[in-house]
Structures are given as structure tokens and as C-alpha cells.
Chain A
Amino acid sequence: MSAINLLEESIVEKTAGESESIPSQTFPDEVILDIDNVSISYSGNPAVKHVSFPIAKNRITSIIGPSGCGKSTLLRSINRMNDFIDGVTVDGNFIYAGHNVYSSRIDPVEVRRNIGMVFQKPNPFPKTIYKNISWGPQINGFTGSMDELVEKSLRQAALWDEVRDRLHESALGLSGGQQQRLCIARALAMEPDILLMDEPCSALDPISTSHIEDLLFDLKSRYTIVIVTHNMQQAARISDYTAFLEMGDLIEFGITDQLFTRPNQKRTEEYVTGRFG
């Protein structure tokens, strides 16, 4: 207990110490989540090694890199979804709302209520469209008007007009792209602080993909988005910041335009110009 307290205090000092840390001087945005020296391993095999970068509030941060570079692992660790995989160990700190998400004093259920997630494959519940949206708020004790919340969430996910007449039909009757937007709406209904997206367009056709990309632009004003993608054009199109991972190492983190046009690292340049990966 005391060790953890000490650890957290030192971290708070570090992020508060303006002159030394990178963020406040060169980082133009408010930091909502600080990934600080994070290492993740599966049964002793390292998947992510000593990665640090900040997540900016109300911005889209994308994590790119070749398959197996640890980008999904890193994303899923942010809201402790890796808790369900045996043998995962996480070192380092994810500083969110003044606490390390992995501290023993933290309730992972509360973390996930505030940090939502959209998965690679659409995973609607085998329930009606309406209940897919209302489920999360309901178990979390939402007391307002559920009809309004459902409509608002579906509108935010640009799905309302397509499903308004079939809210009480099964969500499994929707197309893949619609299902994925339903999953986004479901996450938005919780009004999360941060929305994590794990290759949300990889199972979708180009038209559905462009729907979702447009959607992310609109959502930026209200939410912070962290998106993992293997599609570099997508990262370049939609994100404000980009982190490039390779073999578990953070090769480069920066403003997206810079990282794609004038990367500091040779590996980054080779990757974004398509010479490998």
C-alpha cells in the first residue's frame, strides 16, 4: 500500500514538474491520459517495452505499426481489458484522473465506465437495437429518459435515420457497418471520457469505413479518441497525433502531419512510405 502511494506521489510530481517533462513545453494540448514507461508481457514474453506518450484531450491519437507490434495490447491495457487474459503482466503507469489505472486502489469496473471501447469485429449483443444501447446505462443506474439517450447515442453514431423504425428488432439483422456504428453508439451512451477503438474498420467495406471516419471527426469535440489501425492512410486522414510502434518499442510519437511528412526516425519513414510492414 505505502509503496504504491509513494509511487503515485512521485508520478504526480513528475507530471506536475513543468520544466523537465516533455508534455507542457512542446505539447500543445491538455493531457487526459499519460502513458508512462509502460511494459506489458504475456507469460514473460514482452509485447510492449517501456512505452511513454501522452493522450491529448479532445483529439484523435492513432497507434500504428506492423502486425504483432503490440499496438492492440497497449490499447487494451488502457481500460484493463487485458485483465481477462491469463499471464498478462503490466508494468509502468497509465495516469488517468490523478491515479494509476493499475493501482490496487482502482476499481477496473469504474475505469471501464469512463474509458469505453469499440472492438475490431462488431460485437452487438443478441438483443434488440434499443437494448444494445440501453444495456450499459441501465446496469450503471442511469435514471434519465432512456428513449432520449438511445436516440441521442444513435444520432451521434450516424445510425439513427437507418434504424429509427426498427429499434425493437434484433441488432443481428444489421449490416456489418451498421453493427459497428451500433457498437460505437453503445459505447457513446455511457458518455465515456475516452473512447478506445481497436481497428474499428478492419472488418468493414470502404463505404462503411468512410462513414465511421466522418463520424470520428464529429465526435472529437466531445470525446477523446485513441484508435489502433494498420491502415496508414486512415491514421494520416483522421488523427491529430500518431504513435508508431515496432516490436513493442515506441519508435516515434508526434503530431500526425509531421510524423508522416518529416519523421525523425528512419524506421518511421520506411514504414509510412510503405517500404516495409
Chain B
Amino acid sequence: MQMREMETLKHSDVNQAKKIDIRKTRVRWGEFLIESSLGLCAMISIFTTGVIIFILAQESLGFFEAVSPFDFFFGTSWVPLFEPSSYGVLPLLWGTMLITIGAALFAIPTGLASAIYLSEYASPRMRAVVKPVLEVLAGIPTVVYGYFALTFVTPLLRKMVPGLEVFNALSGAIVVGVMILPTIATLSDNALRAVPDSLRQGAYALGATSLEVTTRVVVPAGLSGVMASFLLAISRAIGETMAVTLAAGATPNLSLTFLESIQTMTAYIVQVSMGDTPAGGIAYQTLFAVAGLLFVITLILNIVSQWILSKFREVYE
């Protein structure tokens, strides 16, 4: 008892001796400086995006004053640089779609299979080797893929496929497929691994085999993440430039086969940007109309995949 009294006495002494003031007496300039410079850096990307959208819109509007939107969206002939010119974007859109569909046909099954292998079957040691290698694939510059298509894939394909042109959609589609494979494999693997182990155990405890657990519980449970990975990869394939420019050529074409040269929207942009098209003319403005269309398509795909991903986060809670 005595001890405690003495302690409290001591305590109040200390409190009396020390003057406590909790009012705001100074501005912390260092804090302010850091906070505002961090904010400024974050603003840069928002500002850039804003400027790009503004310029795309402005120049596209100029284009649509000269060419009717109907002719642009539904015309089947794309001859912007020569007389008589015509500005139907469908051949370019089709070229892009051909590459994207071909790439997806290759990359979706392969990527999903890789993801299933990595998340459900591979030993930790195997994973530690395979996953970084897959990610290295994603880091190779795309121009290298284009060159690889032109000098390796195309000659190989021409031995097997008769009638294949030097520039062709098939070769472009294959290398773009290889390029987007890591995106699908890595993101799908993440989605499958996010499926709680308790679900797998629940399924095994009901007498399921590994295959049944994987195909009928794990993949359906992670499906939204897997779908999002498909969409992100597809939007990457749509926006892909160098590989398709090098591999698939520069011939706007509504061809139904993969054997001929085609031109994608991005390849067209490269062609015009590098040529001597004078600024301000209608040919110059086609760049922005095509780029604007490309931007809208990939933006929609990204928004949809983000939306699917955010839905997927709620699933197990």
C-alpha cells in the first residue's frame, strides 16, 4: 500500500514539472514538400492520359469532318494515302482481329494448361524454375518477336504450308500468341492459387480424383480471374505493334485465311508515322482516327477485365 502511494506521488510530481502543450505551433514544411511532390508525380500519368485523349479526340473530330463516320466504320476498302482514296477501317480492324483470334486460339489453351500445371501439379521446385522462365518470355522486346517470326517461324511454316506468303497473318498470330502466353499463364496461375485449399480438400474428401478437383472445383472457382487474364492478354494482342508489323506485313486485306499479308491497325500507324505524310492533312488525321478506335477497344477490354477481377475478389468472403 505504502509503495503504491509513493509511486503515484512521484508520478504527479513529474507531471507538474513537465509543461504539456498540445496546440499546433509550427508547420512541418518537410512533410508538406514530400507530400506535394509525391502527389505531383502521381498527377503526371493522369495528365498525360488526359492530353492523349484530348489530342486523339480533337484530331479524330477533324478527320470525321472530312470523312463520314459511316464510311469509316463500315467501308471495306482502306486506301488513305493514294488517289482515289477511301477510308473504310474494316480491313484494318479485320487484320487486327485475325491476329488476335489466331493468337488467342494458341495462347488460351496453352496458357490455361500451363497455369493448371503450375498451380495444381508442379512441385514447388518445378514451379521455382518454370514460372521465372515464363516471366522472362514476357520481358523480351516485341521487336525481337517480330524478327523471330520473320526469320524463323515464317520460313519454317512455308515448308509446311503451301501458298504461304512471306508476310502472313499466321506467323504474326503465332508469335503474338507466344507473347501473350505468359500473361495468361501467370495471371491464371495467380487466380487458381487464390482458390482456398479448403475447397480442394473438401473435394478430395468426397472421393474426387485430382483431375476432377482441378476441372470441376478449382478452375470454376477461379474462373473470373482466369477470364480476366484472357481479356487482358487479348487486349495486349490487339495493341501489339512491332511483331505484327514485321511478320504480317502492310496490306489492308479482308482475307479470310491466315496465309496472306494483312495490315493491323497498329501496323498502319507505324507505316504512316514513319513515312513522309505531311502533318495536318487528312492522311495524317487517319492516324488519330485509327488510334482513337484502338484506344476505345483496349480501354473497354481493360475495364471489363477489371470489373471481372473485382467481382472475383468477393467470391470467397
Contact = CB atoms under 8 A, between A and B. Distances in A.
B205 A81 contact: yes
Nearest to A86: B124
A187 interface: yes
A112 B204 contact: yes
B207 A109 contact: yes
Contacts of B124: 86
B257 interface: no
Contact of A140 (B205, B207, B221, B315): B207
B277 interface: no
A139 B198 contact: no
Interface string A114-128: 101101010111110
Interface string A125-165: 11100000001100110000000000000000000000000
Nearest to B196: A123
A41 to B, nearest CB: 20
A79 interface: yes
B51 interface: no
B206 A136 contact: yes
A39 B102 CA distance: 56
Interface in B190-240: 196, 198-209, 212, 216-217, 220-221
B29 interface: no
Given A123-B196, A125-B221, A126-B316, A139 B202 contact: no
Contacts of A116: 205-206
A125 B217 contact: yes
Contacts of A121: 198
A112 B199 CA distance: 15
Contacts of A126: 199, 220-221, 315-316
A160 to B, nearest CB: 20
Interface residues of B, number: 21
A135 B205 contact: no
Contacts of B202: 119, 123-125, 183, 186
A5 to B, nearest CB: 26
Given A139-B216, A172-B316, A125 B199 contact: yes
B206 A190 contact: yes
Given A135-B216, A139-B206, A190-B207, A123 B201 contact: yes
Contact of A112 (B206, B220, B221, B316): B206
Contacts of B315: 126, 172
A119 B201 contact: yes
Nearest to B316: A126
A110 interface: yes
Most buried by B among A79, A109, A183, A187: A109
A117 B205 contact: yes
B7 to A, nearest CB: 35
Contacts of B209: 109
B204 A84 contact: yes
A109 to B, nearest CB: 5
A267 interface: no
Nearest to B210: A109
Contacts of A79: 205
A135 B204 contact: no
B198 A112 contact: no
Contact of B207 (A86, A127, A136): A136
Given A123-B199, A172-B316, A112 B205 contact: yes
Contact of A119 (B198, B208, B212, B220): B198
A109 B201 contact: no
Contacts of B217: 125, 135
A112 B206 CA distance: 6
A99 interface: no
A113 interface: yes
A236 B73 CA distance: 77
A135 B215 CA distance: 13
A116 B202 CA distance: 9
A199 B124 CA distance: 30
A183 B220 CA distance: 19
A125 B198 contact: no
B205 to A, nearest CB: 4
Nearest to B206: A136
Interface string B152-194: 0000000000000000000000000000000000000000000
Most buried by B among A81, A135, A172, A183: A135
Contacts of A123: 196, 198-199, 201-202
The 9 closest A-B pairs by CB, nearest first: A113-B207, A136-B206, A123-B198, A117-B205, A123-B202, A112-B207, A139-B212, A126-B221, A109-B207
Interface of A: 79, 81, 84, 86, 109-110, 112-114, 116-117, 119, 121, 123-127, 135-136, 139-140, 172, 183, 186-187, 190
Given A109-B208, A139-B207, 5 more contacts: A112-B207, A121-B198, A125-B199, A136-B208, A172-B315
26 contacts: A79-B205, A81-B205, A84-B200, A84-B204, A112-B205, A114-B207, A117-B201, A117-B205, A119-B198, A119-B201, A119-B202, A123-B199, A123-B201, A125-B217, A126-B221, A126-B315, A126-B316, A135-B203, A135-B216, A136-B207, A136-B208, A139-B206, A140-B206, A172-B315, A172-B316, A190-B206
